[in-house]
Structure 1
Amino acid sequence: MDSSDDDRPLVKRKPNGVSKSNNRITKAVDKAMDKVAPSNGEVEPGVSIRNGPVEEMEVDEAPNGKAITNGKRKSRSSITNGKSYKEATTSEEDDDIPLSKRQKISKEAKVLSGSDSEMSDEPLIHAKKPPKVTAAQIGESEDSDVPIGEKLQKKKQQIEKTAEKQAKAIRLEEKKAAPAKRKAKKVESESDDDDVPLSRKSKATPARKKATNGVKEEESDDDDVPLSRKAAPAKKIKAKAEPSTPAKKAKKGIKQEEQTEQDLEAEAEEDQYRWWEDPTKGDGTKKWTTLEHNGVTFPPEFTPLPNNAKMLYDGKPVFMHKDAEEVSTFYGSMLNSTHNVENPTFNQNFFTDFRAILDKTGHAKDRDGNKVKITSFEKCDFRPIFEHYEAERAAKKAIPAAEKKAIKAAKDAAEAPYMYCTWDGRKQKVGNFRVEPPGLFRGRGEHPKTGKVKQRVLPEQITINIGKEANVPPPPPGHKWKEIKHDQEGTWLAMWQENINNAYKYVMLAANSDIKGQSDYNKFEKARELKKHIDRIRKDYRRDLKSEVMADRQRATAIYLIDQFALRAGNEKDKDEADTVGCCSLKYEHVTLKPPNKVIFDFLGKDSIRFYDEVEVDPQVFKNLKIFKKAPKTEGDEIFDRLTTSRLNNHLTSYMKGLTAKVFRTYNASWTMSRLLKEMKPNPNINEKVAEYNAANRQVAILCNHKRTVAASHGAQIEKMQRQIDGHRYNQWRCKQQMLNLDPKLKKKKGAEYFELPEGITQEWIREYQASEIETLKVKITKKFEKENEIRKANGEKEMKAKELEERLETVDELEKKFKKENKTGKIEAEGKGPSIEKLEAAIVKLQQRIENDKIKVEDKDNNKEVALGTSKINYIDPRLTVVFSKKFNVPIERFFSKTLREKFDWAMKSVDEDWEF
């Protein structure tokens, strides 16, 4: 390129106003940028170093000299008060249940209520201390001022260097093994040919043959064949020594009565279809041969509101068509969800749709039948509707347990036919067989359509996919299905199009089904395959970071950001879709450059959740981003204007078949986790091993940038945990006062300061705490009494009388009297059987241990408020790694996977042993 290019503007303005970079980057521009951000010639892996608002920093300037700010979009928290029909009718995991709902009555309550559990005859001061979770275990170090991302930078660099070494070793090993594989393949082919007639053998075997999926396979070594294709074919497992059926056992002289429960379980295991040992299953386009199912279930019809629960307009009740009234209940039933009902966009979208339905159904009427045209949202009063549904919710909670059980049993019986289908002769569980109920669309993040009405789905909108020979499930009376299909290439059972985003909704098999399991398996196998190519990919994109070709340099920079910071690739959006962004679709205003090498990302990511991060990048990447943002580019212009997601993925497939940008997230999470787990040493203490695993999970989530919005209840949960810590401190003080009660001379020995109230604990706080403890104890006793009565009733036994409850509640009265006496006299008498100074000192030590552990939990919870640990564990970390850890260190898998996840990852639990490696 000649020097005349040096003075040309870096970008050209297309007629439609979209900026487009030049094809090449001149040496003059490159050198000029080096003076601003010199490159050291190395590319160090970057890590996130900060989350949150940026203050007092140097920022890019727009051509007009004004600073470009990234504070246009604010983070928001997602609140969902009340459950949807779908949520209310499906089982839930308890991993994310708030602490406030899981918390049990503390043992200190027993001390205060006169229990001797804390004051037993055995001194507690000699008890072994519970394992203390170190800062390192939760991803921290003693230096709390250093951001955690910065602390993990060296760890990430070491892990990536190990990955590069292993990739070279894998390819070298496969190269050495290739001749032996070809020889074995030839021998196997010859042995299979022994029984073929000579006339058949004479025909030449073609060099290439057509695969089942229509793709031609070359006859060569399998160096580049994915691991999933190299695995051994499926084997039908049968017992060698013992016959498997009662009939065969009888023939062998074994009595059928001797067949134990363990024998039956073993037989069931033998007969189980182990699809993961047959990775070729499902590789073709035809997914099933026979398919039978019973269709879908619909949400209940709307029940009109009673006259005293009608919406008020301008202070007067109005009567509407049932379709319009149903829409009014969508809004009225969720007035407690302040996050939504105080959102102007939500209200505007709802009222627009509400008015459209009113116009369609003839508007509202007053008590006299006169038409009332609703035109003002401010005049609408939905409180009567809210109060009606609140009363219904309270009534449901008050239903006795036995009756709730009966209602659930009836519901389960009605849904039973829809819960399973028969797929190629095998019974498979169906996932979301319930059609979504109508309601208000909420979306996530700052979705522009939040508040719009989700219309009721009718059978006429639903397409059924089923086998040709199967009986088509009948639609509800008076209705018909939209269409019946026999799509053997599809894994869906039913589908319809929703009205908000015009997206298609599918009824699929459950997460623990063979098809879903195969999908997960293939995803993680694809990530495993990447590990032997990662060094070449990184070497190439590091080289292309300095390419003179603009498209190549943009592509290399994008791959760097995707690999190092787990950015999603990003796809083009329609006009009416949320303005979500990924790496390839980053715009000028989404990236702020902070010299010498810090980059601030601020954009709406997946699900309209704000992605905000400040990261350190390689100086060459920093320089490239300055080039990509160079004038005349301005707000609205794309940074990677010579790159699209499809072009990026096409480039990646040149390294490995099926490789796309999203595979990097799975690979980086799984590979990082495998390295962290491999470094762990054997430890007999299960609690410590669980803590180490959780710490590794957290590091993966941070390194791979798996984020979530801060839960609306986070502050309340932290406050409750802090209150619990203060409760421990107060009970320590009570123990010290009891010591003075036993021996007043201790005040002189230990000093008056030792017996003073802890900092922050006031007399007002004490009274509030005491009242809370009294109420907690009262609720606990009452609930226990009611539960025992329900069990008695269910078993046909005589219920306990109210007098029994009164006698039990005497404990509460005693505790209340004790507190009143202590507050009045200022003295606390020693409690428990045989109280002594030693026991009280032991209780103080035990409470201190709880304080320390709870402080770590508070700190850990606060640090994790924006880290999505579940996202990493469920979607990106290969579940086989968790299984290996569980088996290797003898930790129950239940400590890591809930019941739902154990069903989902059943294939992982049964397919590997402790020696398996990612």
Structure 2
Amino acid sequence: MSSSEDDTPLIKGSTTNGVKSTATIPKSLDKAMDKALPSNGTVNPGISIRNGPVEDMDVDDEAPATNGLTNGANGKRKSRGSIGKVYKESTSSEEEDEKPLSKRRKTSKPAESDSDAEMSDVPLAKISKKPPKVTAAQIGESDDSDIPLTKKLVKEKVKIEKRAEKTAKAIRADEDKEKKRRKNKPAASESDDDVPLAKKKPSKAANGVKKETTSTAKKTKTKVKEETSTAKKGKVKKESTEQDEDAEAEEEEFRWWEDPGKSDDSIKWDTLEHNGVVFPPPYQPLPSHVKLVYDGTPVTLQPEAEEIAGFYGAMLNSTVNVTNDTFNKNFFADFKAMLEKTGHGKDRDGDKVKISSFEKCDFKPIFEYYDAEREKKKALPGAEKKALKAAKDEQEAPYMFCTWDGRKQKVGNFRVEPPGLFRGRGEHPKTGKVKARVRPEQVTINIGKEATVPPAPEGHEWKEVKHDKTGTWLAMWQENINGAYKYVMLAANSDVKGQSDFKKFEKARELKKHIDRIRKDYTRDLSSGVMADRQRATAVYLIDKFALRAGNEKGEDEADTVGCCSLKFEHITLRPPNTVIFDFLGKDSIRFYDEVEVDNQVFKNLKIFKKAPKKDGDEIFDRLTTSALNKHLGSYMTGLTAKVFRTYNASWTMASLLRDLKSTGNLAEKVKDYNDANRKVAILCNHKRTVAAGHAGSMEKMEDKINGLRYQQWRIKQMILDVDPKQKKKRGADYFELPEDLTEEWVKEHVASEVEKKREAIQKKFAKDNEKLVAEGKKEMKTKELDERLEEADELEKKYKKEIKTGKVTAEGKGPTVEKLDANMEKMEARIETMKVQKDDKDNNKEVALGTSKINYIDPRLTVVFSKKFNVPIERFFSKTLREKFDWAIKSVDEDWEF
């Protein structure tokens, strides 16, 4: 490296936040770095070299047996049983970009970089395990291609981006033509802008609504008009059928997507009525014989302190939390504060016991009590469980719906969060702190002025009652851990939430008109002499190409999570000629690790942004903030922010892939085609997940099912021989042999498993039939009846054992023939092939977050297009909940709709 580069001052001086880059970048530095850095020619960035989850770090297998936790306790997180009833926690109603992961990832400490004298980064400190590289199978590609997988995907992404540029120019050209046409339109003719909204025909391109909508509406009006005139003439009216009622309900449905109406940020509703919120039940004290044991002495606590002890005691089986030093420290600090307030505890003689050491506390008796209560609930008869659920549903029914502008809408999270211990995600500094019980005095109600305000619980009153028509919340309160506000909102399938999703994806669709200009501008500014402009351009490049989140500033007591704008020196390692390694805690404290190839200019810029004397803790983009970045993006398009790029890139990529897709074959193969396209989107947009702990077991089960079908095939072949022994000579002995991998040991285990499944099914059916008899007021069947039913399983066991011993299978069914058995073989073969496709599909998805892409980033209308175009039931892609959430998408487009 030349001395001129080393001598170039790029640091303005020390600040409270560390060193800061100079306002400008000398041209001499650029030239010197161009000579020093090796070039690898043209780079087509946009895909990870390495793609996959970060596996958990190595931890000690043996945890200390303190506070009642034994080494045998499993790490599975179970629901807290401190309240004697099942009580579902409500969640924050704030929109989340991704579905949060349930397991924390522990990360190694940041690597300590050496001096940057030669502007060459030291490789990352040794990490116990790096994410696995993406495999060909993961994206539905064959392994035998001559083109490396990463190159193939990069090439495909370049093609998609070129198509985006071409589309953006075409859209703007069409808009310019339309403006000229309007301008040159004769003044005498009525302008389209003057046409009343009711007379305008909805445009397919405007918001994705089908052209048929208008004609359908006309038909509906005509039908209503005809029925009215018929009634006036005095003709006999036919009795309404169920189909008529369904049709009437359909007519009354509010199809808001055809006229979004209140889509601005002002008034959201005119009238609003609801019944408030449901509070968790009061604390039920522990039985007198269940005590916290302190230093070997059972201690009686005041209810407030006992409840907190119960929070911890009930979760001793959650080793991931109770072996966490931060969790224990925070819990005991809050527990001690309550003990000080309530006078600590008392022994059996009534003498005061001061609890001052966490290590001397034994919560095991509390855990055993709550664990036994959980088991009792599991063991309840089905009828009793149903009765309890019905009673709970009846009690909560008034809170499940509200009336919004005269329309019944489902409420999302109407339950106030119960008290407990805050868990957080990742290495959250407040994990283990006590989530205080929320009182009515903390809750603000939002409701219409004319509506009846729901009464607060007896002896309490609301904090405040508001009539905020610009808000979409029904109630709110502030929690004590992070000071965040929790809101009660409408459910995901409500009109309001649907409109929110609609606007989100329409915003992404609008970006397609400007994406070429944005990319052209930030590519130019990558070489800007102004440091702020170059940092902003580099950040937009990373956000656009690699789906990084923008990131926000965090307080000292918040988790150390970062995004693009808040990346620090230690979060990026540079490996010449153009590889960038990201390693940081992202959203929800999930470790983000990725190796990517970037444009040479971007690599050079990151070198400059990391130039000495910057060190660990110093910001990479020290002249850029998230707000400044979003303000700049807003100059291209109203409402454009960094997060819109994730939605646009995922949706545009999917739309491009579907446009070229020719899906044939059976239903399972078509579903796999969709998943393959979805998988490419997830990889290209960096949507990753950790392999589920039970994935390997799930794969084994599917393999066992396939082998079970193969074994049944062998049995059918033996039946063919039983019907016609001459078939052995005709088809050859090999055709009738048992597959080599289905060993004698496997067959015995499989047969035993099948017999056991049969017994379990009979026992379940017997129990269910008895429950039904009791519900009808009749006598239960005696165990003798069960024994008789179980004889069927005994007969099956005998039959299988005989087949294994003799190697012969007696033909089953009425009038078995070779033709019928061959037909059964074909059906079995089809089932096997379908199951193999499903197994491969599931295995390919193990490290790619298809759900994240499909639910949050890919416009749901694209999934509907695939469903209608290739005649695949939408149920194969969207669960019932998602079908309700995306009802607007399912009903608003046909197979010709384009993103």
The TM-score range, normalised by the shorter chain, is: 0.7 to 0.9
SS in 1 for 2:642: coil
1:82 and 2:79 matched: yes
Equivalent residue number for residue 177 of structure 1:
178
Matched, 1:540 2:521: yes
1:555 aligned partner, one-letter code: R
Q: 1:865 aligns with which of 846, 853, 861?
A: 846
The 1:836–1:270 alpha-carbon spacing in structure 2 relative to 1, beyond 3 Å, is closer
Structure 2 equivalent of residue 783 of structure 1: 764
In the alignment, structure 1 residue 406 sits paired with structure 2 residue 387? yes
1:304 equivalent among 285, 292, 296 = 285
- C-alpha displacement at 1:379, in angstroms? 3.4
Would the alpha carbon gap of residues 794 and 138 (structure 1) be closer, same or farther in structure 2, given more than 3 Å must change? farther
SS state of the match for residue 351, structure 1? helix
| Secondary structure of the structure 2 residue equivalent to 1:410 | helix
Distance of aligned partners of 1:819 and 1:325 in 2 relative to their CA distance in 1, 3 Å threshold? farther
Instruction: Name which of 561, 572, 585 aligns with 2:553.
Output: 572
**Cα gap change, 1:193 to 1:662, in 2 (>3 Å):** closer
Structure 2: tracts of 5 or more residues without a match: 61-73, 92-98, 102-134, 197-204
Answering whether residue 827 of structure 2 is matched by residue 830 of structure 1, we say: no
Q: Deviations over 1:716-751 (max 9, x none)?
A: 43444455456567777888999999989989x989
Q: Which amino acid in structure 2 is aligned with residue 173 of structure 1?
A: D
Q: Please state whether the residue corresponding to 1:469 is helix, strand or coil.
A: coil
* Corresponding position of 2:129: none
Q: Which residue is equivalent to 1:158?
A: 159
| Map of 2:430 onto structure 1 | 449
Q: Report if the CA contact (8 A) 1:275-1:514 is conserved.
A: yes
- 1:883 is aligned with what amino acid? V
Q: Deviations over 1:760-802 (max 9, x none)?
A: 9584x66655554443332122112222332344345554332
Go from structure 1 to structure 2 and tell me whether the alpha carbon gap of 1:837 and 1:447 turns closer, same or farther (over 3 Å shift): farther
Distance, in Å, in 2 between the alignment partners of 1:873 and 1:237 is 31
Matched residue type, 2:311? F
Which whole-Å CA distance do the structure 2 matches of 1:188 and 1:280 have between them?
27
Deviation for aligned residue 1:289: 2.3
Q: Does the CA contact (< 8 Å) of 1:738 and 1:828 recur in 2?
A: no
Cα separation, 2, equivalents of 1:520 and 1:193 = 30
Aligned match for 1:913, one of 882, 894, 897: 894
CA distance in 2 between partners of 1:756 and 1:503 (Å): 64
User: How far apart in 2 are the matches of 1:866 and 1:583?
Assistant: 23
- In structure 1, the residue matched to 2:16 is 16
Q: Which residue of 1 aligns with 2:644?
A: 663
Report deviation, 1:266: 3.0
The Cα of 1:701 is off from its aligned counterpart by 1.3
Q: Which amino acid aligns with 2:781?
A: M
Mark the runs of 5 or more structure 1 residues left unpaired by the alignment: 56-69, 91-95, 99-133, 196-225
Q: How far apart are 1:275 and its partner, in Å? A: 2.0
CA drift at 1:357: 2.0
The amino acid that maps onto 2:22 is N
State the match for 2:468 in structure 1: 487
- TM-score with structure 2 setting the length: 0.82
SS state at 2:889 partner: helix
Alignment match, 2:418: 437
Distance across 2 between alignment mates of 1:907 and 1:833: 50
Distance change in 2, residues 1:840/1:242 (3 Å): closer
Q: Would the aligned equivalents of 2:136 and 2:149 in 1 still touch at CA under 8 Å?
A: no
In the TM superposition, what are the counterparts of 1:837-856 in structure 2 within 5 Å? none
Gap change, CA 1:528 and 1:770, over 3 Å in 2: same
Residue in 1 that maps onto 2:477: 496
> In the alignment, what sits opposite 2:254?
273
Question: Once the 2 structures are TM-superposed, how far is the Cα of residue 46 of structure 1 from its aligned partner?
Answer: 1.7
Alignment of 1:362-381 (within 5 A): 362-381=343-362
How many Å apart are 1:830 and its aligned residue? 2.2
Aligned to 1:292, which of 245, 267, 273? 273
Cα deviations by residue, 1:197-252 (Å, 9 ceiling, x for unpaired): xxxxxxxxxxxxxxxxxxxxxxxxxxxxx9569999x9894633222697654115
What secondary structure, in the 3-state scheme, does the structure 2 residue paired with 1:671 have?
helix
Offset of 1:34 from its aligned partner? Answer: 2.0
CA contact (8 A) 2:477 2:487 kept: yes
2:19 is aligned with what amino acid? Answer: S
Change (3 A) 1:86 1:626: farther
Alpha-carbon offset, residue 531 of structure 1: 0.3
Which stretch shifts more, 18-27 or 310-319?
310-319
C-alpha RMSD of the superposition:
4.1
CA 1:892–1:504: 2 relative to 1, 3 Å: same
CA 1:323 to 1:445, structure 2 compared with 1: closer, same or farther past 3 Å? same
After superposition, the C-alpha distances for 1:676-710 in whole angstroms (9 at most, x for unaligned) are: 11222264733332221122112111111112333
Q: What SS class does the counterpart of residue 14 from structure 1 fall into?
A: strand
Task: Quote the residue 2:789 is aligned against.
Answer: 808
* Equivalent residue number for residue 50 of structure 1: 50
Alignment check: 8 A CA contact 2:532 2:623 kept: yes
1:528-607 → structure 2 map (5 Å cutoff): 528-607=509-588
| Equivalent runs, 1:600-679 vs 2, <5 Å | 600-679=581-660
With over 3 angstroms needed to count, the CA separation of the structure-2 counterparts of 1:607 and 1:89, relative to structure 1, is closer
1:896 counterpart = 2:869: no
Q: Deviations over 1:366-423 (max 9, x none)?
A: 2222222333333333333333333323332333333333322222222121112222
1:511 to 474, 492, 506: 492
Percent identity, aligned pairs only, is: 66
Cα separation, partners in 2 of 1:712 and 1:81, compared to 1, 3 Å: farther
CA distance in 1, matches of 2:231, 2:829: 65
Correspondence 1:420 to 2:421:
no
Deviates more, 1:566-575 or 1:304-313: 304-313
Hey, what does 2:30 align to over in structure 1?
Answer: 30
Instruction: Look up the SS of the partner of 2:582 in the other structure.
Output: strand
Q: After superposition, where does 1:756-771 map in structure 2 within 5 Å?
A: 758=740, 763=745, 769-771=750-752
Q: Which residue of 2 aligns with 1:709?
A: 690
Structure-to-structure mapping, 1:332-351, within 5 angstroms? 332-351=313-332
Cα deviation for residue 37 of structure 1 reads 3.4
Note closer, same or farther for the CA distance 1:904–1:194 as it changes in structure 2 (3 Å cut). closer
Residue 434 of structure 1: SS of its match in structure 2?
Answer: coil
Tell me, yes or no, if the aligned pair for 1:308 and 1:384 is still in contact at 8 Å. Answer: no
CA 1:390–1:772 in structure 2 vs 1: closer, same or farther (change >3 Å)? Answer: farther
Q: What letter corresponds to residue 551 of structure 1 in structure 2?
A: A
8 Å CA contact retained: 2:45, 2:596: no
Q: Structure 1 residues 644 and 190 mapped into 2: Cα distance closer, same or farther (>3 Å)?
A: closer
Cα offset, 1:435, TM superposition = 0.5
8 Å Cα contact 2:549/2:564 also seen in 1: yes
The residue that corresponds to 2:116 in the other structure is none
Change in 2 beyond 3 A, CA 1:363/1:50:
same
2:105 alignment partner in structure 1: none
From the superposition, tell whether residues 846 and 319 of structure 1 become closer, same or farther in structure 2 (CA, over 3 Å).
Answer: farther
**Any idea what SS the aligned residue of 2:238 has?**
helix
Distance 1:506 1:249, change over 3 A: farther
In structure 2, relative to structure 1, the CA distance for the partners of 1:32 and 1:808 (3 Å cut) is farther
Contact 1:49 1:148 in 2 (8 A): no
**Is the CA contact 2:442–2:462 (under 8 Å) kept in the aligned structure 1?**
yes
Instruction: Say which of 457, 480, 483 aligns to 1:476.
Output: 457
Kept in 2, the 8 Å contact 1:669–1:872? The answer is yes
Residue 678 of structure 2 is matched in structure 1 by 697
1:688 aligns with 2:689: no
**SS state at 1:479 partner:** coil
Q: 1:394 to 1:418 in 2, by over 3 A?
A: same
Match of 2:130 in 1: none
For each residue in 1:440-494, what CA deviation from the matched residue of structure 2 results, as whole angstroms up to 9, or x when unmatched?
2222223222222211111011111112222211100011111111222211111
SS of corresponding position for 1:240 = helix
Distance in 1 separating the partners of 2:839 and 2:789: 35
Decide whether the 8 Å contact of 2:803 with 2:809 is kept in 1: no
